[in-house]
């Protein structure tokens, strides 16, 4: 049950209110002046403060401001014997939950405290959620120890505290959206919306409607006004992924937003003003796109005020084991599996991959390996066949690579891959018995 702090210099009124609230199941603490109230606030951590306006050492209206600074989640209800409008207005401005008159509003106190207590609980839940989100999207959540990654993180941290547009470059799957979220949640806009849109996911007409909105009747099927994603991101951040895929005609509209902070919706005649920070990302070489006439040069220079290049996973091979361990832990919790270890052969095979799909591909491989593994131990036999084959091909220069058993293993694995795992067909092509094939699969841990 919620805890209520009653602040009043009249003992009889405090006692009456305390008795009334205790009968409702609330825990009650008391103070007779501002100084005692501040001390009780520290010691008792109440959810709601029920406070008189006129106190021996100060004014309750001013006390509201001090309480909200010290404990923002606490809700304050002011009581006064002689209510006046200016005090009420100032109390609400200072952060009071409500302002009521003694005597006339006695029957309102219990329902009012109930609502204030609920709001205080919601404040606490919201603070915990914001803290959790902040941790989830902090720069510390970006895993890796390689120098190239640390340099990218350092640049992103520096630009996050500013409000300039950012262009994130790098191959597909390198974590550009993760970086965009980290920049947003470490900026002064962190409490506002973060809106992400993939420019390659929509046709030109649909993307224009999604991004900028439209007026009712502006085209067939536009039955009502629609807010665009830029309006949804007002005062926050919009992340434009795959910006190189945006139609040339829409680029002019985006440029106008960057230059003037306004645009015109489809079917509208008046401009809409927005205050957004734009973070764009691309896996294309935009300067090459400019030469080919597919991307506006003026837009490129406005978007790329600050560029951060994200390294490919093959450029940070030392981070693969860190990422693999994190993905394995995450998926094992989700799938209720217990993973005790990843064998050296398993990690070595991962580190030898070129990872054209980067972190996204590694994540998918770990999830797949976790599903097929047995005994809580991730080994090379749990990896997809193409990764196993690559691993053994890369080992051909060693003495082990010339062993007959190693060559036989690779050959069986390739035929299994060719038959998509059909063991009967594999045995037929190898011209061996099915029992022999099963024995060799078990022996070689294919």
Give how far Cα 362 sits from Cα of 114, 237, 370, Å: 51, 29, 12
Least confident of 120-124, 127-131, 286-290, 351-355: 127-131
Q: How many domains does the chain have?
A: 4
Q: Where do runs of H (alpha helix) occur along 315-374?
A: 320-335, 344-351, 358-372
Q: What is the percent of the chain where pLDDT is above 70?
A: 93
In a domain, residue 28? The reply is yes
- What integer is the mean pLDDT of 157-174? 95
Q: How confident is the model at residue 327 (pLDDT cuts 50, 70, 90)?
A: very high
Distance CA 307, CA 165 (A): 9
243 and 218: one domain?
yes
Vertex 371: Cα angle to 339 and 181 (nearest 5): 80
21 and 118: one domain?
yes
335 and 430: one domain?
no
Distance CA 122, CA 2 (A): 12
Domain end among 251, 284, 310: 310
Highest mean pLDDT among 157-166, 375-384, 420-429: 157-166
Domain end among 386, 406, 422: 386
Helix (H, G, I), strand (E, B) or coil at 311: coil
281 and 163: one domain?
yes
436 and 373: one domain?
no
Least confident of 29-33, 58-62, 102-106, 354-358: 102-106
15 and 107: one domain?
yes
| Model confidence at 400: pLDDT above 80 | no
305 and 323: one domain?
no
44 and 181: one domain?
no
In a domain, residue 136? The reply is no
Tell me how long the chain is.
446
| Model confidence at 401: pLDDT above 50 | no
Distance CA 99, CA 77 (A): 6
174 and 148: one domain?
yes
Distance CA 293, CA 103 (A): 76
Q: The CATH number of the domain where 241 resides is what?
A: 3.40.50.300
Least confident of 7-16, 105-114, 237-246, 301-310: 105-114
The pair of structure tokens assigned to 36 is 């005692």
Q: Are 46 and 30 contacting, i.e. CB atoms less than 8 angstroms apart?
A: no
Q: Are 365 and 352 contacting, i.e. CB atoms less than 8 angstroms apart?
A: no
- The residue among 348, 354, 384 whose CA lies nearest residue 366 is 384
* pLDDT per residue as tens digits for the range 152-162: 999 999 999 99
In a domain, residue 208? The reply is yes
The pair of structure tokens assigned to 393 is 């091909």
In a domain, residue 392? The reply is no
Q: Phi and psi (nearest 5°) for 62?
A: -70, -35
Q: How confident is the model at residue 106 (pLDDT cuts 50, 70, 90)?
A: low
Lateral strand order in the sheet of 306-309: 194-198, 237-241, 277-282, 166-169, 306-309
Q: What is the mean pLDDT of the chain?
A: 88
126 and 147: one domain?
no
Q: The CATH number of the domain where 31 resides is what?
A: 3.40.50.2300
* pLDDT per residue as tens digits for the range 208-226: 999 998 888 788 777 888 8
Distance CA 47, CA 76 (A): 9
Distance CA 258, CA 250 (A): 13
Helix (H, G, I), strand (E, B) or coil at 143: coil
pLDDT of residue 418: 78
Vertex 194: Cα angle to 191 and 195 (nearest 5): 155
In a domain, residue 135? The reply is no
199: containing domain? 141-310
- What integer is the mean pLDDT of 101-115? 79
Domain end among 292, 310, 328: 310
């Amino acid at each position: 049950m919620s805890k209520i702090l009653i602040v009043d210099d009249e003992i009889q009124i405090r006692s009456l209110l305390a008795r009334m609230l205790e009968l409702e199941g609330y825990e009650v603490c008391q103070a007779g002046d501002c100084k005692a109230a501040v001390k009780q606030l520290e010691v008792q951590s109440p959810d709601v403060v029920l406070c008189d306006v006129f106190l021996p050492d100060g004014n309750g209206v001013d006390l509201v401001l001090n309480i909200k600074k010290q404990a923002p989640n606490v809700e304050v209800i002011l009581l006064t014997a002689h209510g006046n409008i200016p005090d009420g207005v100032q109390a609400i401005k200072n952060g009071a939950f409500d302002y009521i008159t003694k005597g006339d509003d006695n029957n309102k106190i219990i329902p009012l405290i109930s609502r204030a207590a609920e709001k205080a609980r919601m404040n606490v839940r919201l603070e915990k959620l914001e803290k959790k989100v902040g941790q989830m999207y902090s720069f510390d959540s970006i895993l890796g120890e390689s120098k190239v990654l640390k340099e990218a993180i350092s640049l992103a941290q520096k630009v996050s505290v500013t409000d300039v547009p950012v262009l994130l470059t790098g191959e597909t799957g390198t974590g550009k959206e993760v970086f965009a979220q980290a920049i947003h949640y470490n900026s002064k806009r962190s409490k506002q919306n973060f809106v992400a849109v993939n420019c390659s996911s929509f046709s030109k007409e649909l993307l224009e409607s999604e991004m900028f909105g439209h007026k009712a009747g502006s085209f067939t099927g536009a039955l009502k006004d629609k807010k665009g994603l830029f309006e949804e991101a007002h005062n926050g951040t919009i992340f434009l992924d795959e910006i190189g895929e945006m139609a040339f005609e829409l680029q002019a509209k985006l440029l106008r937003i960057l230059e003037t902070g306004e645009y015109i919706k489809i079917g509208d005649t008046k401009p809409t003003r927005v205050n957004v920070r734009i973070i764009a990302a691309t896996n294309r070489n935009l300067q090459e796109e400019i030469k080919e006439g597919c991307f506006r040069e003026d837009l490129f220079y406005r978007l790329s005020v600050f560029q951060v290049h994200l390294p490919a996973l093959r450029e940070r091979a030392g981070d693969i084991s860190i990422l693999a361990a994190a993905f394995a832990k995450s998926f094992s919790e989700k799938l209720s599996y217990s993973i005790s270890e990843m064998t050296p052969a398993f990690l070595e095979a991962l580190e030898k991959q070129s990872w054209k799909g980067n972190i996204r591909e590694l994540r998918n491989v770990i999830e797949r390996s976790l599903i097929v593994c047995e005994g809580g131990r991730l080994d090379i036999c749990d990896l997809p066949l193409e990764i196993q084959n690559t691993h053994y091909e890369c080992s051909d220069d060693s003495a082990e690579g010339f062993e007959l058993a190693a060559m036989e293993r690779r050959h069986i694995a390739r035929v299994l891959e060719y038959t998509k795992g059909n063991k009967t067909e594999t045995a037929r092509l190898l011209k061996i018995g099915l029992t022999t094939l099963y024995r060799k699969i078990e022996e070689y841990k294919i």
